Structure 1
Amino acid sequence: MGALTAPRGAPWLIRAYHELQRRRHLVVHGNVDDLVRWNDRYEPFAVTLVDFLAVAGFEVIVRYNLVDGLTYCTESSREFVRGHLSDRKVRTAPPINRRDRPATSADVLEQQLLAAGQAQPRTALDVLAVALRLMTQTEKPCVVIVESADLLVGAASELSADHVEQVAYVRRLLASGAAAPPGEQRHHNTMIFVTRELGSLPTWLRRDNPHVATVLADRPGLAERAAFLRESVPAYYGAGEMTAEARDTATRVLANLTDGMTIVDIGALSVTSQVARIAPTMPRRLVARHRFGLRDDPWEQLDISKIKSAEELLSRRVVGQLPAVRAVTDVLVNARVGLDFVSDGQQTGTRPKGVFFFVGPTGVGKTELAKALAELVFDDESALRRFDMSEYSQEHTSERLTGAPPGFVGHDHGGTLTNWVLERPFSVLLFDEIEKAHEKIMDKFLQIIDDGRLTDGQGRTAYFTHSIVIFTSNIGAGDLRRTFGDPSMSYEAVKEHFTQAVADHFTTTLRRPELLGRLGSGIVVFDLLRESVIAGICDKFLDQIRTSARARGYDLVFDRTAIGRAVIDELTRRGVALGARQIRSPLLEQWVRVPLNRWVLENQPPPGTRIFVHRADTSPPFVVDAMDDPS
């Protein structure tokens, strides 16, 4: 930590000072509600800004917000402003005679100056009138800080009856700053507009305005976070028993893990440490608990017996894809046990719990396996969030995942992906048909795989540490009919074909071999549908219909052998490359479900009736009859 020297003040203050030297007004935006490092201390933003401006040479510093009106940072500032408002030339100005002539903008300004001089300025127009006098006077260098500037001239103020006049005043103010005292080039009367979101201010104020500079108040950098943690870590749970070297190591790791957090939020880590009884020797666990609240980690709480039987449970829903099921089961085992490639035995990795690239023919169970995984881990299939990547085929649509940047339409809504992960960090994320997405999106996926996080357009960071990320693709499926005319081709041949297709896609088509390297063993190839698998899938769907019938008091009996044989023959004729979707619809839908529902509607059988579905020389090839009571 010795080599990591913290600045005496936040770096953005230096940028602000340089702009002040250029005699420009400022728009300060971003992390304006946080503690800011200044003179080796951490003070509230408002306090730091005032101290900074005083050091910069401003003798009169006043602030305005809609709640407190005009306030003075020093008593000398109060006396100067009041003395200026009591200027005899202003107080004795003749009143406007509206009967003689229409009021001009100068008349309005004069009346507002009179009102402001006779009492404490209250309304926005009164304050702006005072600010105009301060900007044009040449006795002392003055600065007026407008807090929550978006409420004064932004979109939020457009419903105000005085909005047009307020905008006109601000435009005038920006062009009216004078040197004070005359001839002094270092000091220039200045307006400072403070807002959280830069996009909430009108473009004429924040963009292409020669009189205004925008300054981003950044979140604390690594050195600032480390300096703050050096002071606060001794208050953490169990810190008193740590050696100086252990505290130094914990501080270094925590400084890295808290990237993107505010000083206020980092300060709250000590409370989390004490309440959760997590020592700084387990920094990743501490930060994870702080970010995700006190909810239980599903990975730590997952039933051991459920993990042991995961392969069997998943195979019930995804028939005939044992290699894929085993790959997913291995990830569950790793996540539950927790052994990982980390330097500290107490730490956990920052990457997602698992990253898969499911590839294979259409309709063989890729999406179904993702759903089954979500239900197994979370007992809730809705924990799966599916993104149809065909909707992200254009370059501009990539911003939908993380949200539009500041100043663009939709910025306030955040991103569809980051919003979901912020709300439900323990999730299964499915990106379906990834080959249809624009290549620009791959940059975001690379960041997820490498760093386990994404930052949205509002500056919020979503962490994927507790998520499972699944990409699905049909890359190479178009060659199946030509390459695999014989459906009895071995799984090894199918795997080789799809693995090579994926490699060609990333290295030749996308020219992104680094993504291929990051996926590693996460590429899972799904097999073709074999005859035994088709029969198993038929049985699964028939069991679902039978369960539905039992709920209504009927007992269904199927000629399963005949139904399975008919489905296999039909798929062989059509081609197994089309997948299992056609087993349910149209085949079983037309052959079994529709005839069965029609028969029940026409015959209205009483509860307890046994119903037989069997083969016949008809169209459709299966008929429905009531079975005789064996008694």
Structure 2
Amino acid sequence: MDSLVHQPGLPAWVREIDLAFPVTSQFIVAGNIRDIHLVRKSADSAAHVLTTSEVIVGLLIRRRYDLVYSYDPVDGIRLEYHGTEVDPESFFSSTHLGRATASTTGRLADLIRNARAPGAPRVAVVIAYASRLWAEEPHAGPDLRGLFAAAEKRANSNDGEDQLRNNPGRFDCGIFWLADEAQDAPQWLSRASGVRLVHIPLPSLGLRKSGAGLFLRRMDDPARTDAAAASAAETVLADLSQGMTLREIDSVVTLAIEQGIDITRIDEALRSYRLGVLESPWGDPLLLQRLKRGTDSIGRRVLGQPRAIQQALTVLTRSAMGLTGAHVGNASGRPQGILFFAGPTGVGKTELAKALAETLFGAEDAYIRFDMSEFSAEHSEARLIGAPPGYVGHSAGGELTNAVRDRPFSILLFDEIEKAHPRILDKFLQILEDGRLTDGSGETVYFSETVIVFTSNLGTYRSSSEAGASDNFARWGDPYRDTEAKVRRAIEVHFTEQLQRPELLSRIGDNIVVFDFISEAVARELVRKYLSAVIRRVQTRHGITLRILPDVSNTIEENAVENLAFGGRGVGSIVETLFVNPLTRALISAEKSAQALAASQLTRLESSWELRLTSSDDNQPFTSKHF
């Protein structure tokens, strides 16, 4: 009999079964068993699309089995091939435990026992959904126990050895168990000498491309007749479908046909299939216009960081124009953008992420923040991706995977990434490289439409305890070039020497955006911005028109610029201490009938500040010390 081992037109797992046929009576076939498979009689012949069961049945027929049966819990036992004059029902005519066998599992037991009878035809059976049968073993009735006993005896008997000595290459009974996972098989079967485990993997890039080429032929699209366009579509679909089955790729093509998506936009059909949405903000024709205006609009919101804003917008504009990964010449399922915001605290890193979310997706709530200081323990990984089966909280899923599944178009901000446990950082390797992550329940979540933003304070001088190493840290007053160099060096040392994960740094690449310390001019502008916000709140909440005289605002500004090491947060703290707190006390002392007040004087006391409010109605002063 011709061996199939060296025929390249067959999947590798089929050739493995063919190789083991002469010495194996039972096979456990696990893994990607629900998929369809491309089978060719030769390397240059047309491909046939078959299910796993159909491939195995065809192989059994080629191996000259006389009777081939299949079984599943819904349809029961079916005769797939009849190549002998023997009555197929004759194998089910025995009695079991003193009574006629009626159940399908009992009939399977009869089939296995009778197939071993002297002079019997060669019989094989393909048992689908084997994992369900094995799961019922602790509660099995007599018929199911009889089936397992017959299979176990067959797996451990010496009949096969005697048979091979007398008739090499012929097992007269073959059993194929199709299981979801190899570990589902009971030990009495998986450890038997006459049983072989065969794993069906997800399709390789080559198989995905072959399948894409075959499935795309169904599209009635004029562009398909263009060889270059057709080849490009095959490549895109194959590249972007990593981790998918051929059945899913076929479904993508079906979706494209139903939605009228042409072959040159097959990536849109794939995105729609994965995410369940047809519209993409990345395809919005107005997006490029918003990004063009982003330098001005975001600059009014994030003060004093023109370099950071421009660098971030360049990365996102590249994605909006479809040029991400263009230099390597193939499609990618990676996130639309990767940004690493580094620099001092309180300089606008988080604010820029929010502004980018509003620019890209039209809403600030398209920004999702994760405080990575909460994920410093190794076990906190389960919070991000979900607990594995059998653990508490498994059904709840993970915070990260749930967020991306619910809102695939979003900016994901991982704040203070250096504080996360190294094992959690390993998860980002898969996200940044493949754009996908498997959660605790085994479901794949795709990050291909997200923007990943990391923030870090690495390299910034922040406390007096670090004074001895101040030369290695950026400080307020340093030129921007020095700040940038020190911050980049600190990031490199952290990932390569401390964490020993240079591969994560390489995936971030040159997308490190270093923020500068805020200047005195920016600090003064922030004071005015914060004071304006307070005026609006007083008007909205209390109906009082509040006016701040220059002496008061100047005092606040002078105090705010004394120490800018804490950036905008430090400025905000000064405004709260010098103005908001004494204003609160003064407002309580003011007459309820006052419609307009002026903050006319700010005085420093021993341990606090006093604010004098003057009513415009009767020139009556109200000070915070009246409280």
Hey, what's the Cα distance between the residues in 2 that align with 1:559 and 1:11?
A: 79
Q: Which residue of 1 aligns with 2:408?
A: 425
CA spacing shift, 1:193–1:487, aligned 2, 3 Å: same
Paired position in structure 2 for 1:265: 248
Change (3 A) 1:61 1:387: farther
TM-superposed CA distance for 1:164, in Å, is 11
Partner of 2:54: 47
Matches within 5 A, 1:47-126: 47-74=54-81, 82-87=89-94, 90=95, 110=97, 114-116=99-101, 119=102, 121-122=103-104, 126=106
Aligned match of 1:535:
524
Q: Which amino acid aligns with 1:145?
A: V
The 1:397–1:21 alpha-carbon spacing in structure 2 relative to 1, beyond 3 Å, is farther
- Paired with 1:298 and 1:152, the residues of 2 have a C-alpha distance of 47
Partner SS for 1:557: strand
- Structure 1 residues 216-267: Cα deviation after superposition (integer angstroms, max 9, x where no partner): 2223233333333333433335346634455345434543343333222322
- Number of residues paired by the alignment? 592
User: Which residue pairs with 2:623 in the alignment?
Assistant: none
Change in 2 beyond 3 A, CA 1:343/1:247 = farther
Instruction: Identify the match of residue 565 of structure 2 among 577, 602, 606.
Output: 577
How far is the alpha carbon of 1:110 from its aligned partner? Answer: 0.9
**Contact 1:592 1:613 survives alignment (8 Å):** no
Instruction: Provide the residue aligned with 2:134 in structure 1.
Output: 153
Q: Which residue of 2 aligns with 1:133?
A: 113
Asked if the contact 1:284/1:348 (under 8 Å) is kept, the reply is no
Q: 1:476 aligns with which of 441, 454, 459?
A: 459
CA distance 1:327–1:246, shift in 2 (3 Å): closer
Q: Tell me: CA distance 1:488–1:254, structure 2 relative to 1, closer, same or farther (3 Å).
A: closer
Alignment-mate amino acid for residue 471 of structure 1: F
* 1:174 counterpart residue number: 152
Q: State the TM-score, normalizing by the size of structure 2.
A: 0.77
Q: CA shift at 1:183, angstroms?
A: 3.0
More divergent stretch after superposition (456-465 vs 468-477): 456-465
1:605 aligns with 2:623: no
Q: Distance in 2 between matches of 1:26 and 1:256?
A: 32
In structure 2, the CA distance between the partners of 1:607 and 1:161, relative to structure 1 (3 Å rule), is farther
* Match of residue 499 from structure 1: 488
Identity of aligned pairs, percent?
A: 30
Q: Relative to structure 1, is the Cα distance of residues 368 and 59 closer, same or farther in structure 2, using a 3 angstrom cutoff?
A: farther
Conserved 8 A contact 1:63-1:146: yes
Alpha-carbon distance in 2 for matches of 1:615, 1:590? 12
Question: Which amino acid is the alignment partner of residue 83 of structure 1?
Answer: S
Identify the match of residue 361 of structure 2 among 371, 378, 381: 378
- Give TM-score, length-normalised by structure 1: 0.77
Gaps of 5+ in 1: 91-108
Matching residue of 1:487: 476
Alignment check: 8 A CA contact 2:556 2:575 kept: no
How far apart, CA to CA, are the structure 1 residues paired with 2:594 and 2:72? Answer: 74
Q: CA deviation at 1:529?
A: 3.4
Structure 2 residue 11 is matched with structure 1 residue 10: yes
Q: Which residue of 2 aligns with 1:194?
A: 178
Equivalent position amino acid for 1:110 in 2: L
Distance in 2 between residues matched to 1:396 and 1:505, nearest whole Å: 22
Unaligned runs of 5+ in 2: 1-5, 41-46, 165-169, 620-627
Which of 218, 222, 226 is matched with 2:201 structurally? 218
> Any conservation in 1 of the 2:33–2:52 contact (CA below 8 Å)?
yes
SS across alignment from 1:489: coil
Relative to structure 1, is the Cα distance of residues 457 and 617 closer, same or farther in structure 2, using a 3 angstrom cutoff? closer
| 1:477 counterpart SS class | coil
Deviation at 1:571, TM superposition (A): 7.6
Per-residue Cα deviation, 1:241-296 (whole angstroms, up to 9, x for no partner): 63445534543454334333322232234444445554434554554455445532
Q: Does 1:554 align with 2:537?
A: no
Q: Residues of 2 paired with 1:524 and 1:553: CA distance?
A: 42
Q: Which range moves more in the overlay, 328-337 or 489-498?
A: 328-337
1:64·1:127 contact (CA, 8 Å) conserved in 2?
A: no
User: Deviation per CA, 1:404-455, whole angstroms, max 9, x where unpaired?
Assistant: 8899998888765455445543221222222233445555544544454456
1:357 CA displacement: 1.4
Cα deviation per residue 1:501-548 (whole Å; 9 max; x = unaligned)?
Answer: 223333433445555454343111112233333333344444444444
Partner of 1:328: 312
SS where residue 197 of structure 2 aligns? strand
Paired amino acid for 2:313 = T
Q: Secondary structure at the match of 2:541?
A: coil
Equivalent-residue separation in structure 2 for 1:25 and 1:560 (angstroms): 91
Deviations 1:286-336 (A, max 9, x none): 544554455322122144543233123323443332221222222333333
Is structure 2 residue 60 aligned with structure 1 residue 31?
no
Given the superposition, is the C-alpha separation of residues 70 and 444 from structure 1 closer, same or farther in structure 2, using an over 3 Å criterion? same
Counterpart secondary structure, 1:521:
coil
Q: In the aligned structure 1, how far is the partner of 2:279 from the partner of 2:304?
A: 34
5 Å-filtered alignment, 1:308-457, equals 308-339=292-323, 342=326, 350-393=333-376, 417=400, 420-439=403-422, 444-454=427-437
